[in-house]
């Protein structure tokens, strides 16, 4: 069953997700107003991007609330993979956003329209980059602390927003200096390509845990190092299987002991191994099968 301590993560995770929702609402409003006033497709592309981020943030918010529920008869391994499902959906939404932006940009190249009031557009983009940079840094820290795939996905979104907002600002400056309106849709196309790349990596990283892939090489090395400490007390260990579900990690392994070891001694040793593994790898559930030889 899930550990009660996981309930303490709910405030941290939901507060982080709530901040993302609020931030995106404010930025969408500012970008849509600026895009409407200036007639800039690159700013509109940023508004669409933020709109998808808002939808992603809402998905993340509810996925987190589901993922922290304790294991039950229906889900004996817990609800952690809701976070991975959330991250995969976010990747799909980002891909859809990039396609919409690409379409609008191509239309602007075919039918160019000169943007007006570049100062307002620059202010909105610079503020957007600053807000997203600060929030992204906060979410990355929260995601690492809570081992949350959903928060990491949101942080990745916002980090991409920083680059795209900066790119749009550069495009606006180029358009202002040169007087060539095509810079606006060209930057929008670059934004679309950046978002597509982000969507690919986000979807791939979300899908891996859903397919029950094992732990990273670094974590597997931790397991090996810990088990090496017990070489004088066990004959060997084998059939190590690992997987990740949201913020939780599961480790299953077999340990072979001498047949003369008592049941009490084997249980004590097993509990000691479990405690060492759970201490080394965050949010870990360990299951050990004792074999006698």
Whether residue 281 is predicted with pLDDT greater than 60 in this model: the reply is yes
Residue % of the chain over a pLDDT of 70: 91
Q: Does residue 3 surpass a pLDDT of 70?
A: no
What's the token pair of residue 147? 């081992």
> What's the pLDDT score for residue 9?
44
Q: Residue 242 burial (CB < 10 Å; 0-12/13-18/19+)?
A: buried
| Contact call for residues 83 and 246 (beta carbons, < 8 A) | yes
Phi, psi of 258 (to 5 degrees): -65, 140
Higher pLDDT, 175 or 276: 276
Q: Taking 70 as the threshold, does the pLDDT of residue 194 lie above it?
A: yes
- Alpha-carbon torsion, ordered 78, 81, 83, 84, to 10 deg: 170
Average pLDDT over residues 195-203: 85
Residue 72 token pair: 């039950």
Residue 176 tokens read as 């202002």
Range picked from 36-50, 76-90, 219-233 for highest mean pLDDT: 219-233
How far apart are the C-alpha atoms of 108 and 14, rounded to whole Å?
39
User: Residue 292: helix, strand or coil by DSSP?
Assistant: strand
Instruction: Render pLDDT for 118-176 as a digit per residue (tens, 0 to 9).
Output: 677 788 888 888 988 998 888 888 888 877 777 887 787 788 778 778 877 887 788 77
Domains and CATH numbers, the chain: 4-210 (1.20.1510.10), 217-292 (3.30.70.1350)
Angle (deg, nearest 10), helices 118-146 and 9-38: 160
**For the segment 19-29, what is each residue's pLDDT rounded down to a tens digit?**
888 887 888 88
Tens of pLDDT, residue by residue over 71-86, are: 788 887 778 888 888 8
Is the distance from CB of 146 to CB of 12 less than 8 angstroms?
A: yes
């Amino acid at each position: 069953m899930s550990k009660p301590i996981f309930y303490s993560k709910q405030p941290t995770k939901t507060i982080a997700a709530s901040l993302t929702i609020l931030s995106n609402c404010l930025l969408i409003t500012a970008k849509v107003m600026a895009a409407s006033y200036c007639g800039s497709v690159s700013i509109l592309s940023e508004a669409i991007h933020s709109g998808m981020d808002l939808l992603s943030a809402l998905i993340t918010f509810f996925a987190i609330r589901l993922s922290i529920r304790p294991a039950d008869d229906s889900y004996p391994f817990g609800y952690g993979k809701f976070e991975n499902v959330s991250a995969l959906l976010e990747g799909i939404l980002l891909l859809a956003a990039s396609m919409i932006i690409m379409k609008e940009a191509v239309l602007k190249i075919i039918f160019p329209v000169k943007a007006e009031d570049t100062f307002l557009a620059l202010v909105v983009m610079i503020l957007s980059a600053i807000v997203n940079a600060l929030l992204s840094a906060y979410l990355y820290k929260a995601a690492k602390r809570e081992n949350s795939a959903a928060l990491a996905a949101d942080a990745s979104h916002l980090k991409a927003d920083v680059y795209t907002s900066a790119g749009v600002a550069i495009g606006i400056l180029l358009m202002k200096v040169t007087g060539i309106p095509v810079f606006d849709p060209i930057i929008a196309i670059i934004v679309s390509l950046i978002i597509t790349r982000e969507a690919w990596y986000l979807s791939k990283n979300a899908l891996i845990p859903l397919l029950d892939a094992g732990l990273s090489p670094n974590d597997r090395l931790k397991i090996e190092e810990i088990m090496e400490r017990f070489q004088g007390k066990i004959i060997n260990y084998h059939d190590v299987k690992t997987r990740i579900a949201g913020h939780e990690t599961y480790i299953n392994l077999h340990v072979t002991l001498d047949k003369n070891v008592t049941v009490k001694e084997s249980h004590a040793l097993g509990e000691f191994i479990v405690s060492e593994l759970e201490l080394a790898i965050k949010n870990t559930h360990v299951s050990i099968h004792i074999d006698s030889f």
